[in-house]
Amino acid sequence: MKQIRTIVAKEWADVLRNKMVFYVVVLVPLLLTAIPVVMLYILGHSPVSQSDYEEMRRMLQNPIFAGLTPVEAMQSALASNFLVLFLMMPLMVPVTIAAYSIVGEKVSRSLEPLLATPITTTQLLLGKGLAAALPGVVMAWLSYGVFLIFARFFSVSGRVFSVFVNPMWLVAMFVLAPLLTVLAVNFGIIVSSRVNDPRAAEQLGALIILPLLVLLIGPLAGFIMLNSTTFWLSSLVVALLDVGLVYIGVALFQRETILTRWK
Amino acid sequence: MIRTQGLCKYFQRNHQEIKAVDGLDLQVHEGEVFGFLGPNGAGKTTTVRLLSCLIGPTKGRAWVNDLEIGKEDQKIRAQVGILTEAPGLYDRLSARRNLEIYAELYGVADVQEQVEKYLRFLELWEQRDVEAGTFSKGMKQKLAIARALLHEPPVLFLDEPTSALDPEAAKTVRDFIESLKGQGRTIFLCTHNLDEAERLCDRIAVFRQHLIAVDTPETLRRQLFGRQTVVHLAQVSEQLAVTVRSLPFVKHVEVLPGDGGAGKLVISLSDPVAQNPAIVQALVAQGAQIQFVNELRHSLEDVYLSLMHDNPDPLRV
Q: Which domains does chain B have, with CATH numbers?
A: 2-215 (3.40.50.300), 224-296 (3.30.70.980)
**B105–A260 CB contact, under 8 Å:** no
Distance from CA of B154 to the nearest CA of A (A): 14
Range of the domain at A120: 2-260
Q: Which residues of B touch A115 (CB under 8 A)?
A: 54
Residue A107 contacts B where some CB pair is shorter than 8 Å: no
* Averaged pLDDT, B283-295: 90
Q: Which residues between 36 and 55 in chain B have a beta carbon less than 8 angstroms from any beta carbon of chain A?
A: 49, 52, 54-55
Cα angle A244, A246, A247; round to 5: 65
Which pLDDT score, from 0 to 100, does residue B89 have?
93
Nearest to B56 among A13, A118, A256 (CB): A256
Q: Which residues of A touch B144 (CB under 8 A)?
A: 113
Question: In the A/B pair of chains, how many CB contacts fall below 8 A?
Answer: 76
Give SS3 for B254.
strand
Q: Which residues of A touch B163 (CB under 8 A)?
A: none
Which pLDDT score, from 0 to 100, does residue A43 have?
78
Q: Which of B90, B98, B163 to mutate to test the interface with A (most CBs of A within 10 A)?
A: B90
- Euclidean distance between CA atoms A80 and B82, whole angstroms: 55
Distance from CA of B115 to the nearest CA of A (A): 16
Q: Which residues of B touch A2 (CB under 8 A)?
A: 104, 107
The answer to whether A58 and A164 are in contact (CB under 8 A) is no
> Measuring CA to CA, which residue among B190, B235, B167 is closest to residue B44?
B190
For residue B193, pLDDT beyond 90: no
The answer to whether B192 and B160 are in contact (CB under 8 A) is yes
Report the percent of chain A where pLDDT is more than 90. 11
Q: Mean pLDDT of all residues in chain B?
A: 88
Distance from CA of B144 to the nearest CA of A (A): 9
* Averaged pLDDT, A113-131: 89
**B97–A18 CB contact, under 8 Å:** no
Which pLDDT score, from 0 to 100, does residue B42 have?
85
* Averaged pLDDT, A224-241: 87
| CB-neighbour burial class of residue A228 (10 A; exposed 0-12, middle 13-18, buried 19+) | middle
Please state which of the ranges A130-139, A150-159, B11-20, B303-312 shows the lowest mean pLDDT. Answer: B303-312
Q: Which residues of B touch A120 (CB under 8 A)?
A: 74
| CB-neighbour burial class of residue B284 (10 A; exposed 0-12, middle 13-18, buried 19+) | exposed
Q: How many domains does chain A have?
A: 1
Nearest to A108 among B56, B88, B101 (CB): B88
For residue A194, pLDDT beyond 80: no
For A18, nearest residue in chain B (alpha carbons): B92
Q: What are the two backbone dihedrals, phi and then psi, of residue B115, each rounded to the nearest 5 degrees?
A: -65, -45
When pLDDT is cut at 50, 70 and 90, the band that residue B317 belongs to is very low
* Averaged pLDDT, B163-168: 80
- Euclidean distance between CA atoms A226 and A85, whole angstroms: 13
> Measuring CA to CA, which residue among B117, B104, B315 is closest to residue B206?
B315
Categorise residue B107: left if φ over 0, alpha if ψ from -120 to 50, beta otherwise: left
* Averaged pLDDT, A66-85: 77
When pLDDT is cut at 50, 70 and 90, the band that residue B35 belongs to is very high
Distance from CA of B205 to the nearest CA of A (A): 24
Which pLDDT score, from 0 to 100, does residue B298 have?
82
Which pLDDT score, from 0 to 100, does residue B313 have?
42
Reported ipTM: 0.81
When pLDDT is cut at 50, 70 and 90, the band that residue A31 belongs to is confident
Q: Which residues of A touch B105 (CB under 8 A)?
A: 3, 6-7, 114, 117-119
Which pLDDT score, from 0 to 100, does residue A263 have?
60
CA atoms within 13 A on the CB side of B118: 26
Cα angle A249, A252, A258; round to 5: 135
Give SS3 for B289.
coil
Cβ atoms within 10 A of the Cβ of B281, count? 10
